[in-house]
Chain A
Amino acid sequence: MFSDIALILGTTLMYSTPLIFTALGGVISEKSGVVNIGLEGMMTIGAFIGATVGYFTGNPWIALLAAGSAAMVLALFHAIASIHFAADQVISGMAINFLGPGISIFLCRIFFDGTTMSLSIPLDQKIPRPLNGFFAQNSFFDLIFNQYATVYLAFVLMAIIWFVLYKTRLGLRMQAVGEHPKAADSLGISVYKIRYIAVLCSGFLAGIGGASMALSVVSNFRPTLISGQGFIALAAIIFGKWKPQGATLACLLFGGAQAFVIFLGNPQVGVNISSQLLAMIPYILTILILMGFVGRTNAPAAVGVPFEKH
C-alpha cells in the first residue's frame, strides 16, 4: 500500500518535470505580454537536440544546455515576429509548432541514417540521479525521491522564477510590461528589451523541458515523444493563473493523473476499468476545475497585444 503511494508520487514527479520547465517558461513569456503557443514546437526541438547532443557527446548537461539554446533560437523568431513586427502572436506561435517538429525530424533523418528515432543514450550517460543509493532500494523514500536531477532542478527553478518575478526589479518590470506596456514605456522601461528577455527565457526553458523528457524519462528522441505536452503546459499556465507556483501545481496535477493511470493500468493492481477511460481523467478534471473559476481570469492585461512604439 505504502509502496504503491510512493510509486505513484515518484512517477508523478518524473512525468511532471518536462511540463513544469515548459510551463514556467510560458509564465515568464505571458507575464511580459507575449502569448507563447509555440511551446510545443520549442519542446520538440529541445527533445531532439537534447537526445542528439547527449548521444554524440555522452554528457547530459551539455545536451541540456544545447537543447535550451536550440529552442531559444526558435523562440527568437517568435520574439522578432511578435515584438518587432507586431505579429499576431497566435499565428507566429503556430508557425513555430510546424517548424519545431519539422526541423527536428528533418535533422533526425540526416543524423541517424534516415530514421525518425535517434539512437538510445546509454543508461550512465542520462541525467544522473543524485540521491541514488541514499535510501534503501525500493524503500518508501527511495521510490519517491530517487529522481533524476532535472526533477529537483525544476523545483529550484520554480523558486528562482517566483523570486525574480515578484521580488526583483526585472520581474516587476516584466509584469508592468505585461499589464500596461504604455505606462511602462513612459517610465523609461524598454518594453521591447524586457519582452525579448522573457520570450527567449521561455524558449530556453521549453527546450530544457523537452530535453528532460528525452534525457531522463526516456533515452532517445522520437516523433511522438512530445505530442501535445507543450499544449498541456500551455493549459497549465492558465490553470495556474499565470503564477509560477500555480503552473507548477497544475503540472503536478497532470503528472499525477498520468501516474495514477499508469498505476491502475498495471495488471497486477487488478482494477478492471478501461485504461482508455482512465486516460481521459486528467483532461476532464481540468475542465471541471476550470469551471469552478468562473469569471476569475488573472491573465496579464496586455497578453497577446503587440506594443508599437511611436
Chain B
Amino acid sequence: MSSKLKNIFFVLVSILIGFVIAGVILKLGGFDPFEAYKIMFLGIFSKLSYVSYTIIKSTPIILTGLSVAFAFKTGLFNIGAEGQFIIGATATAYAGYFLNLPSYIQIPTILLIGVVAAGLWGGVAGFLKSRFGIHEVISTIMLNWIALYLQNYIVMLPGFRKPESEASFDINASGSITILENWKYSDAGVAFLDLHPLIGDFLRPPFNAGIFIAFLAALIIYYILNKTTMGYQLRAVGFNKHAAEYGGINVRKNMITAMFISGGLAGLAGSLHVMGVSKNIAILAATEGYGFDGIAVALIGGNSPLGCVLSGFLFGGLKYSGAKIQSAMEAPSEIISIMIGIIVFFMAIPKLFKILSELKLKKLSKLSKLQK
C-alpha cells in the first residue's frame, strides 16, 4: 500500500474505533448505541433542511481546520484560531453595521476587513515568535482571551450595542450572504416554495454562500502550498527550520506570513458566520470552540485542504446530529466530544497499528513455517 493510502486507511480505522468505543460508552450509560447512531444518521440525511443545517454547521470548522492545518504545515501550532475567529467576526460585524454600500461592494469589503483584521491578529503571534522567540502556543492562548474581552468590549460600545441586550445591532442587509434571504419570505418566494417543498425545506435554515467560499479557500490553500514558491518555502520551514534557513529561506518572514494566512482563514470563518448565520455578535462568557474544533478537524484531515473539508463535514455532522440524541433519547450529546477525543487519540498513535500489523505478519510467517 502506498503511504497515502495507508494514511487514509489509518484515519478510517481511527474513526471506526471512535464509533465503536463511543457506542460501548453509550451502552454502559444505559443507552442503545444502535438507536443513537440511527437517530444521528437520520438526523443528517432524512430531510433536506437537516442536510442544509449540517452544511451550515460544517462551514466554520472547515475553515478553522484549514487555518490550523496551514500553520501546521509551516511547523506552527495555531491554538489561536479561536481568537482569530472572534476578531474576524467582530471586525465584520462592526464594519457591516456602520458601512452600507451596494451589496456587490459591501460583501467583499466587510469580508476583507474581517479577514485582514484576523490575519493581523494571527500575524502578531508570528511576529512574537520570530522576533522574541515566544512560543506560539503561549502567545495565541493569551491572544484568544484578549480577543474574547475585546469582542465583549466592542459589543457593549454605545451606538453598536442593541439597547437592552447583550448583543450588537445586526449588520446591514447589504452584507448578508444568506441565499435568497429576502425572496424566501416574500409572497412570490413563499408561493414558489410551497409548490416546491424540497427546495423550501433546504432553504428554511439560513443556508448561505459560506460553504462555497470555504471550498474556494481550500482550493487556494492547496494551490499556495503545492504550486507556489511561497508554499514551498512555508513547507520547507515546517520540515526543517534550520535546513530552510541554510537554503536561503527567510524563516522569520515565513513564520509571520504563515500566521497571517492562518489567522486570515480563521477570521474568514468568523466573518462568514456573522454574514451568513448570526448577523451580529454577542457577549461571550467563554470561547465558543470553533478554533479547538478546528484543531481536531485539521488532525483528522491529515492537515491537507481536502482532508479538512471532509473531516469538517464529518465533525459538523457529528456535532449537529449529536444534539439530536439528547432530545430524542436523553442520551448526553457530549458523547460526540468523547468520540472525537477517541478518534484524535488513535490518530496520535500510528505506532499502535504498526505494531499490530507486525504482530500479524509474525503470526503469518510462523503459520507458514508450521505448514511447511
Contact = CB atoms under 8 A, between A and B. Distances in A.
A106 interface: yes
B69 interface: no
A105 interface: yes
Given A110-B29, A114-B330, A295-B133, A228 B287 contact: yes
Given A232-B141, A235-B141, A291 B134 contact: yes
Interface in B147-165: 149-150, 152-153, 156
Interface stretch (A56-64, A79-87, A161-169, A191-199): A79-87
A109 B322 CA distance: 15
Nearest to B285: A224
**Size class of the B contact interface (CB-based, 8 Å):** 35 or more
A97 B299 CA distance: 14
A294 interface: yes
A294 B334 contact: no
A287 B348 contact: no
B296 interface: yes
A228 B286 contact: yes
A101 B332 CA distance: 12
Given A85-B349, A114-B330, A287 B142 contact: yes
Contacts of A85: 348-349, 351-352, 355
Interface string B284-310: 011100001001100100000000000
Contact of B149 (A87, A280, A297): A280
Interface string B208-250: 0000000000000000000000000000000000000000000
Given A91-B347, A92-B345, A98-B340, A280 B146 contact: yes
B342 A99 contact: yes
Contacts of B285: 224
B113 interface: no
A91 B338 contact: no
B145 A95 contact: no
A102 to B, nearest CB: 3
B142 A99 contact: no
Nearest to A96: B341
B267 to A, nearest CB: 19
Contact of A92 (B153, B340, B348): B348
Interface string B249-288: 0000000000000000000000000000000000001110
B138 interface: yes
Given A235-B141, A283-B142, A87 B349 contact: yes
Given A95-B342, A102-B337, A291-B134, A224 B332 contact: no
Contact of A102 (B77, B133, B335): B335
Given A88-B348, A98-B338, A280-B146, A287 B141 contact: no
Given A87-B349, A238-B135, A276-B156, A94 B337 contact: no
B344 interface: yes
A238 B332 CA distance: 36
A97 B77 contact: no
A279 B142 CA distance: 12
Interface string B175-217: 0000000000000000000000000000000000000000000
Nearest to A225: B286
Interface of B: 25, 29-30, 77, 79, 128, 132-135, 137-139, 141-146, 149-150, 152-153, 156, 285-287, 292, 295-296, 299, 330, 332, 334-338, 340-342, 344-345, 347-349, 351-352, 355
Given A81-B345, A87-B348, A106-B335, 11 more contacts: A94-B295, A94-B296, A95-B341, A99-B337, A99-B345, A102-B340, A105-B334, A232-B141, A277-B149, A280-B150, A284-B146
Interface of A: 37, 41, 77, 81, 85-88, 90-92, 94-99, 101-103, 105-106, 109-110, 114, 224, 227-228, 231-232, 234-235, 238-239, 274, 276-277, 279-280, 283-284, 286-287, 290-291, 293-295, 297
Q: Which 8 A-B pairs have the closest CB atoms?
A: A102-B337, A98-B341, A99-B341, A95-B345, A276-B153, A92-B348, A91-B348, A102-B338
